[in-house]
Every structure is written in structure tokens, then in C-alpha cells.
Amino acid sequence: MQRQAEAVERARLAGERIHHFHGGLRLRHNKKISCEVPLERVPLPARLFVPLLQHAGSDLANALVQPGQAVLKGEPIGAYEFPDRGFVHAPTSGTIVAIENGPIAHPGGQAGMRVVIEPDGLERWTTLSPCPNWPGADPQDLLETMRRAGLVGLGGAVFPTSTKVQGAGAAGVHTLILNGAECEPYISCDEMLMREQAGKVIAGARILRRAVGAERAIIAIEDQMGVVEQVLKKALAASDAEHVEVVRVTTIYPEGGERQLIQVLTGLEVPSGGLPQDLGLLVQNVGTAAAAADAVIEGKPLIERVVTVSGNGVKRPRNLVALFGTPISALIEQCGGYEDDVQRLVLGGPMMGYALPTDAAPVIKAANCILALTAKDIQAPQPEMPCIRCGECARVCPAVLLPQTLHWQASNGQWDDARDSGLMDCIECGCCDFVCPSHIPLLDWFRHGKGMVRKRAAEQAAADLARQRFEAREERLARIKQDRKDRIAAKKRQMSESSESKKKVAEALERARKAREARSGGDDKQ
Amino acid sequence: MKPLPPSREFDTSGAPHFSPDVTVQRVMRDVLLALTPGIAACAWYFGPGVLVQIILAILFALGFEALMLRARGQPLRLYLPDLSAVVTAILFALCLPPLAPWWIALTGMLFAIVIAKHLFGGLGHNVFNPAMVGYVVCLVSFPREMTAWLPPVSLADASIGIGETLRAIFTGAAPGGLGWDAVTQATPLDTLKTGVDHGQTVSEIRSAPIFGDFGGLGWEWIANWFALGGLWLMWRRVISWHVPVATLGSVIALGLVAYVVDPGSSPSPLQHVFSGALVLGAFFIATDPVTGCTSTIGRLWFGAGVGVITLAIRRWGGYPDGVAFAVLIMNMAAPLIDRFTRPRVYGEQVGRND
């Protein structure tokens, strides 16, 4: 405990010095191409397809509406079983046309349930309930407002913000880190957001800081983001925000990863299996902060986000503000359409994003970037060769794993060994996969492996529970049996103890016998 | 409101969606390029026999490689051009006396490619460095042929042409009509070992013409050219600095101690580094990733082990040089070293006290 307290104290110095993390890659940023024009709004499409599944998991929201029903902008149309996940809201006003299965953006590549809305074009808002006097509001009220607004982490993991903040606040947080280090190539939605809506980001920082009870907030941005630093500092000076700082960090992939960013800012590591709050820290994406400001100050639920549309496969790369449910094809159209040699469509960045089978899939909360890549970008798939143990993967691994060992264990089905070698500490950044001269699909292996380890742990837990239940039942039955035995024995003892009762029994038995004989004799005569 | 554009289908694939143009073949090609200056220096000092041995070894290696791939049902088109067999062949051939008979290369490659590589599972699965297995098998089985070294060209009585070289290699006829004893000469390391065993001091031995400024005449320059190639490989990030630095560092450190304590029978550390196969071994053989350690600390131990064992064999062993044996012994130890030098995973607590 003492060591942890020490670490928490050291973490207070976050941002004073820039530290390093192990490995990583210096990739070509390719961000400028999508930062040349200001943010644009995607025109309201003829149909919105709002998925009831907007994150990598599988727990679906339940639809709260019926086909034919009219909805207002911002009205809840889906609620999750797990209440912390909050709601899915109608991105615009209109009529529910259908609730149907269709293409969605999901790593599994499968179809999913979508609420189809035909917009009326009026954009009529539902009654908004902002948090009054937010700079002095009770943290619980702020959290409840965020939960109702369906606020989730917009950096990619889409974990419910209120849950994360509440947990961190309970553990004690001294510093809020706003993550503006979007280190994956091409993605520039956070950069554009900070450039154009710096005031909102700073308001969000203050809201989140208040909600978690932190003393200070750091906005971490990358050194290649140009004007962003000045814009933020100017906005800071203009606002009455105190204890909010801007820190520039060197751009090395994957420093936007929560654990890597913490290491860069503090020189400390989040304990394995632990959370940033173990160091008194909370990390939130800058986009989440802006959405928190919308939710708390204006009462607007999360119904849209900034999406980078980029890559050599699209004619005019740029950043768009898109309502959730807008088909990706509409975003591409807004960017001038595809180039002729487009080959692959990716949701997310080129390192960690997943390829989409169709652009009919709609924008979701996790959609930070739509990447259209050409044949030249992705190269011809190289044949997989055996591992030559060159160790490049270990050199670049930011989690300091030995990917070649993990691959060996995973490909042999040694899941327990892989877990012991740190498989669950893999952050799925793809650096190892990127540098592998043998073109082994390491990232696929590790994503699959982590799923396997989790599944096995769940199965083990279920088996343990079943065994416990079985053992408890056996014990209970044995106890009942024993009780009955004891009772019978006690009764016997009781009876044998009294001779009088014995005599009575003998008499009764005698009577019974006679009666039986008499009856059976009569029976025989018949 | 805008009408929806028609949707479009795409092929999918796993992340990451782009990657640099690195392949096993390219790694091997870089190694070959890095060997070129050293090979040229060898040929310069020891004649065309060096190149003939290399060509022979490559031909045998590719032949065995194709045979084994076919036998194991592996795609030839994928594996044959990966150049790994060519690297093995060249490393082996560089250890051969330039006029060694042709069947040495055949035997060496048989053991290297067929036994050490493919019978252990092929590329990436071999436990022992194939080139060194081939070399040690030949050295132990055919000591006379494997130690019949020529003196550097500048010290030879007459230069040996390509015709004589080929005849010597393929028919076993000594060049120039002389006996083999007249043509061959002990290597500097050999001379040193015999001399010390006969009670001579190192400085007396070193007055012989086969010694140069630091190591053996010619040998020291060959070592320099190999070192240059090795440094280029480091710059290209094909090899890391750990193994060469640990190997040469341990030799220099231990050699220095021995040199200070017992200068009579211990050559200087530089003499150690610049003779025999040490530089070639440190940059090109001990750095073989397949048979070495993978963690950085493990690589330091591995390199240091190669250096120490080489010195021990040179000092007390039955062979004048010990790089090949040292590498093979450390190959055996590599999995164990890897096991004990696993780096601390991010966030993993060491000796936590709460």
C-alpha cells in the first residue's frame, strides 16, 4: 500500500516532464490531408439507421419505440439492459419506419438491429434538461446527466463515461488527463475538434474534473498538431478555467493508448490488471469532454460526432460532423466519392481499425475515422512465413511483451501459458504485426487469444459455480438424510425406553394380526 | 434531405491495414549484402578458392533445400527464394580452407540443411545454427582437410590461379605440382597455440611473418571488412547491437585480464578479436535470430557466453579457434536464457509489498 501511495504522489507531477514508453513506431502521420478544410456537417440523409449495438461488445439496447411512431430529436429510442450504458437517442426528429436487421459497423462483421428513422427535416428537439449552474453542480448530478445523455468514451473504446468517472472518483483521482494524442495515422477528428471547438473541450475538461473530483486537468496533444496548442491556450486564457494545462507530447504510435499516455506524462505504469485510478489518474478523450459539455451545459444527448474521412481512396478527405445512423456512403459522397482504385474501407485507423464489408453501415459512437485505402496503400497480401525469431516484435511492443512467444503459445492452443506470459496486457496496437518480416497475423492471433482466455475464464467460473452448487446440494441432501436418520433413531430410542408403550405396541400388533386373520379368512370364503 | 447514395461492397482483412515492405527474403538479402566486403577481402587475401567454395556450398545448399522442401511437402516457390539456405552456405564456406576438396562442402551442407535445419522443422525451427553444425561435423570428421589453410597471398611463394584452384578442389591435386605440405601453412591462431604449448612467449611467436599489426596478416583486414558489414546491418536494424557488443566485449575484457596477468602465454585482446572467426561470428553467426535469444538481456548473456567459451577453447581446448563450438553450446542454452530473462511486462509488479 505504501508503494502505491508513493506512486499516486509521483503521478501528481504528471506533465512536468515528458517520459518514454517502450517500443512504439514512428509512422507517417498522413493527417494534414484531412485538416485542410474546416469541419463540415453531413446534410440530413433521407434515412437514418441507428444501430442498437454501437460498441464492440454484444449487449444490445432494447428498442423503446414502435414502427410508425413519431420521435423528436434527442428522444431515447433504445435502452440498455445494463443501465450504466445509458440510452440510444433519436439523432433527428421524424418517424420510425422500421426496426430491422441490416449492416452495422462491428468487428465481427455481422448484421445487427437498427432503428430506421425517416427524418421530417424539422430537427425538432425533445425537451432538453441541462444541469443548471454546472460549475457548482453536485458531481452526482453531473454523472446522472452524462448517463442520461448516453455519453461514452469517443476515443474508440466507447466505455460508458459515467461508469468510468464514478469508479475513478470513488477510488480518488487528483489529475484528469484529456487525451488529445490521436496517434494513429490519418485520424484527425480530435485535432479538428480542438481547433474549432476549443472552448467546448475546455468546458468539458472542467465538467469532468468536477465530476471526478480532480484538482487539475491536463490536455495532452501531439507535437505535430501545429496551431492546436495556441488555439487551446488562447481559449484557456479567455475562459475562467483554473488548473487546466496543455502539454505537448512527441508523436510516437501508440502513445494515444491510455496506458502509454500515462507513462509518457508520469513515467509510471498502470499496474497490470489495474486502472489509471490506481495512480490517482483518469483519462478521457477530448471528444468525450466536448460531448460532456454539450450534455451538461445544453442538455443535448450524444447523437453526433466528428468523423475523419480520409485515405487515398477518397477524393476530398476532410472531417465531418455526422449524426449517428448516417450511412457511411453518405459521408463518402460528401467527400467527393471514391477514387477509382479504392480497395478497402476501414472503420478506425490503419493500425487497429477493422475493415467494413459495405459502406451501407451507419456511423456509430465508436466511428472516429472512415478510411478508404487503395491497392497501393495496402499492398498485395504477403504469404505468411515461419517466425525467424528476429525479435523486432518485442522491440516495438509498448506493453513489453514477447509477441513471438505469445504467438507460439497461441498457435499451439496453450492459452494458460499465453495468459501467464502477459497476453491480457496486450493493447492490440498492431506494432508487432506491422514490423513482422514473416507477415504473421499477430494482431488477429492476439485478439482471438484474448477472447479465448476470457471465454475460458468465464467457463471456468461457470464450472466452479456449478461445482459449488452441486457440492452444496450434496451437502444439503446428506444433512437432510442424516437429520431423518437421527430423528428416527431418537424416536426408536424414545419408544424402546418406555416399557409401557412397548406393551401397548405389542397389544396393538396382536390386535392388528387378529383382525387381519379374520379379514383374510372372510376373504377366502368368498 | 439528401437521397441515399447506392452502397458499395468491399473485401475485408485483419488489421493493421498497411505494413512496410519487409520480408524474410529482404532480411537475408541484407545479410548477404553485408557479407560482401568481407568475402571480397577473403578472396583478396586467400585467392579464388574462397569464391569457389562459396559457389559450391550455395549449389549444394539449394539442392538439399529443394529436396527437403519437396520431401516435406512444402511449397518450393515460397521457401526456396527466401535466401536463408544461401546465407547458411556462405557462412559455412567462409570457414573452409580455400582449397578444401569439393565433398567437404557437400558433407557440410548435408548436415547443415538436411539434418540441422529440415529435420528440426525447417526455417525458424532449427535449434542449432546450421552453418556451424555443418562446419563442426566436417572439422571433427575430416581434421586434415579442414585445417589445410593457405598462407595469405602476399606470403605465398607463388600465386595459385583459378585453374589450379579448381583442380585442387575437384581432384585433390596440390597446386604447382608441390606437396600439400609445401602449399599449406598453419593459421595464426594455430601457430599461437602450438607455440604457447611449446613454451614460447607470445611476443616471440608474434614475430613470425603471418602476424600483422593486431591479429593475423590478412585476417585482421578481413575482420575489419566483416565488422563494417556488421555495423551496416546494425544501422539497417537487421541485427541489434547486443550480441556483437557482448561477444566482442567479453573477449576484450577477459582477454585483457589474461593479458595483464600472464602476458607470456596470453595474446593481447586485440589479437584475439582480429584473428580467426571472431568478428564474423560476433556479427553474422551468433546474431542468427532463430538459434539465439530473443530478449535483449538474453542476447547480452548469449553474446557474452559465446565470447567466454571461445576464449576458453582457444586457451585450454584442443582447437585453435572455438567460435563454432561456442555458438553451438550457446544455442543449447538459448531457450533457458530466454526463460530467465523475460522482460517485465508493462504494469507487472516486481516484489510488490502490498
Mutate to test the interface with A, among B117, B293, B346 (most CBs of A within 10 A): B346
Q: Which residue of A has its CA nearest to B16?
A: A351
Q: Which residue has better confidence, B209 or A422?
A: A422
Window B:121-180, CB contacts with A under 8 Å: 122-125
CA A460 to chain centre: 23
Nearest Cα of chain A lies from the Cα of B140 at a distance, in angstroms, of 29
What does the alpha-carbon distance between residue B45 and residue B154 come to, in Å, rounded to a whole number? 7
This prediction has a pTM of 0.83
**C-alpha cell, A111:** 448484421
Q: What is the pLDDT of residue A526?
A: 43
Strands of the sheet with A94-103, listed across from one edge: A48-51, A111-119, A94-103, A70-71
Domain boundaries, chain A: 1-30+141-299
**Collapsed DSSP state (helix, strand, coil) of residue A429:** coil
**C-alpha cell, B91:** 557462412
Strands (E), A12-93: 40-41, 48-51, 61-63, 70-71, 76-80, 87-89
- A313 touches B at CB < 8 Å: no
Question: With an 8 Å Cβ cutoff, are A386 and B125 in contact?
Answer: yes
Would you say the C-alpha torsion B182, B184, B188, B193 has a positive or negative sign? negative
Window A:85-114, CB contacts with B under 8 Å: 103, 109
- B316 touches A at CB < 8 Å: no
Answer left, alpha or beta for residue B119, where phi above 0 means left and psi between -120 and 50 means alpha: alpha
The mean per-residue pLDDT over the stretch B81-104 comes to: 93
Report the candidate in A288, A321, A287 with the shortest Cα–Cα distance to residue A304.
A321
Mutate to test the interface with A, among B7, B13, B17 (most CBs of A within 10 A): B17
**Collapsed DSSP state (helix, strand, coil) of residue B94:** coil
Nearest Cα of chain A lies from the Cα of B294 at a distance, in angstroms, of 5
Q: What is the pLDDT of residue B95?
A: 92
Between helices B49-71 and B24-46, what is the axis angle to 10°? 150
Radius of gyration of chain B (CA): 23
- A438 touches B at CB < 8 Å: yes
Window A:389-408, CB contacts with B under 8 Å: 389-392, 394-395, 398-402, 404-405
Question: With an 8 Å Cβ cutoff, are A355 and B24 in contact?
Answer: no
Question: With an 8 Å Cβ cutoff, are A350 and B347 in contact?
Answer: no
Contacts made by residues B314-319, CB under 8 angstroms, sequence distance 24+: B314/B189, B314/B193, B314/B272, B314/B276, B315/B258, B315/B266, B319/B139
- In sequence order, the β-bridge partners of residue A283 are A177
**Chain B residues near residue A273 by CB distance under 8 angstroms:** 347
**Chain A residues near residue B124 by CB distance under 8 angstroms:** 385-389, 438
- A336 touches B at CB < 8 Å: no
Nearest Cα of chain A lies from the Cα of B94 at a distance, in angstroms, of 23
**Collapsed DSSP state (helix, strand, coil) of residue B52:** helix
pLDDT tens digits, one per residue of A234-280: 998 888 878 889 999 988 989 889 999 999 999 999 998 889 999 99
| DSSP letter string, A113-143 | EEEEEEE-SS-PBPPP---TTGGG--HHHHH
Between helices A161-171 and A139-148, what is the axis angle to 10°? 160
pLDDT tens digits, one per residue of A447-489: 999 988 988 888 888 999 999 999 999 999 999 999 999 999 9
Q: Which residue has better confidence, B231 or A499?
A: B231
pLDDT greater than 60 at residue B352: no
Window A:187-246, CB contacts with B under 8 Å: none
Q: How many CB atoms lie within 10 A of CB A517?
A: 10
Confidence of residue B273 (pLDDT cuts 50, 70, 90): confident
Window A:451-490, CB contacts with B under 8 Å: none
Q: What is the pLDDT of residue A525?
A: 46
Between helices A258-266 and A2-11, what is the axis angle to 10°? 80
Window B:250-269, CB contacts with A under 8 Å: none
Highest mean pLDDT among A382-386, A425-429, A502-506 belongs to A425-429
Nearest Cα of chain A lies from the Cα of B342 at a distance, in angstroms, of 8
Q: What is the pLDDT of residue B354?
A: 37
CA dihedral (B307, B312, B313, B314) in degrees, to 10, reads 90
Nearest Cα of chain A lies from the Cα of B132 at a distance, in angstroms, of 17
- B17 touches A at CB < 8 Å: yes
**Chain A residues near residue B289 by CB distance under 8 angstroms:** 388-391
Confidence of residue B327 (pLDDT cuts 50, 70, 90): very high
Q: What is the pLDDT of residue B276?
A: 76
| H/E run at residue A220 | strand A216-222
CA B217 to chain centre: 20
Q: Which residue has the cell 510516437?
A: A252
Chain A with chain B: Cβ pairs closer than 8 A: 206
Question: With an 8 Å Cβ cutoff, are A379 and B295 in contact?
Answer: no
Q: What is the pLDDT of residue A58?
A: 66
Least confident stretch, A159-163, B87-91, B150-154, B250-254? B150-154
Report the candidate in B236, B123, B95 with the shortest Cα–Cα distance to residue A387.
B123
How far separated are the first and last CA of chain A, in Å rounded? 93
Nearest Cα of chain A lies from the Cα of B6 at a distance, in angstroms, of 7
ipTM for this prediction: 0.84
**C-alpha cell, A519:** 379379514
Task: Please give the backbone phi and psi of residue B227, each rounded to the nearest 5 degrees, phi first.
Answer: -60, -40
Q: Average pLDDT, whole number, for chain A?
A: 88
- Per-residue b or e along B201-213, where b marks 16 or more CB atoms closer than 10 Å to that residue's CB: ebeebbeeebbbe
What does the alpha-carbon distance between residue A23 and residue A258 come to, in Å, rounded to a whole number? 15
* Fold annotation for A1-30+141-299: Rossmann fold (3.40.50)
**C-alpha cell, B322:** 572455438
| H/E run at residue B28 | helix B24-46
Question: With an 8 Å Cβ cutoff, are A404 and B3 in contact?
Answer: no
Mutate to test the interface with B, among A389, A407, A417, A438 (most CBs of B within 10 A): A389
Question: With an 8 Å Cβ cutoff, are A389 and B78 in contact?
Answer: no
Q: Average pLDDT, whole number, for chain B?
A: 88
Nearest to A356 among B3, B10, B344 (CB): B10
Percentage of the residues of chain B whose pLDDT score is greater than 90: 49
Least confident stretch, A106-120, A310-324, A511-525? A511-525
Q: Where are the alpha helices (DSSP H) in A99-219?
A: 139-148, 161-171, 189-196, 198-212
- Pairing label, strands A61-63, A318-323: unpaired
The mean per-residue pLDDT over the stretch B289-308 comes to: 93
Identity of the residue numbered B73 = G
pLDDT greater than 60 at residue B152: yes
- B224 touches A at CB < 8 Å: no
Q: What is the pLDDT of residue A2?
A: 63
What does the alpha-carbon distance between residue A186 and residue A35 come to, in Å, rounded to a whole number? 10
Question: With an 8 Å Cβ cutoff, are A271 and B349 in contact?
Answer: yes
**Chain B residues near residue A335 by CB distance under 8 angstroms:** none
Least confident stretch, A193-202, A238-247, A332-341? A238-247
pLDDT tens digits, one per residue of A291-333: 999 999 999 999 999 999 999 999 999 999 999 999 999 999 9
Confidence of residue A508 (pLDDT cuts 50, 70, 90): confident
Confidence of residue A12 (pLDDT cuts 50, 70, 90): confident
What does the alpha-carbon distance between residue B118 and residue A105 come to, in Å, rounded to a whole number? 45
**C-alpha cell, B82:** 527466401
Question: With an 8 Å Cβ cutoff, are B290 and A389 in contact?
Answer: yes
What does the alpha-carbon distance between residue B79 and residue B72 come to, in Å, rounded to a whole number? 12
CA dihedral (B192, B196, B198, B203) in degrees, to 10, reads 80
- A411 touches B at CB < 8 Å: no
pLDDT greater than 80 at residue A216: yes
Q: What is the pLDDT of residue A57?
A: 64
- B350 touches A at CB < 8 Å: no
How far separated are the first and last CA of chain B, in Å rounded? 61
Instruction: Label residue A455 exposed, middle or buried (CB < 10 Å: 0-12, 13-18, 19+).
Output: exposed
**Chain B residues near residue A333 by CB distance under 8 angstroms:** 2, 5
Window B:49-78, CB contacts with A under 8 Å: 78
- A44 touches B at CB < 8 Å: yes
The set of residues, in sequence order, having a beta carbon less than 8 Å from that of A258 and lying 6+ positions away, is A179, A270, A276, A283
pLDDT greater than 80 at residue B178: no
Report the candidate in B83, B98, B129 with the shortest Cα–Cα distance to residue B334.
B129
Question: With an 8 Å Cβ cutoff, are A43 and B2 in contact?
Answer: yes
The mean per-residue pLDDT over the stretch A374-401 comes to: 87
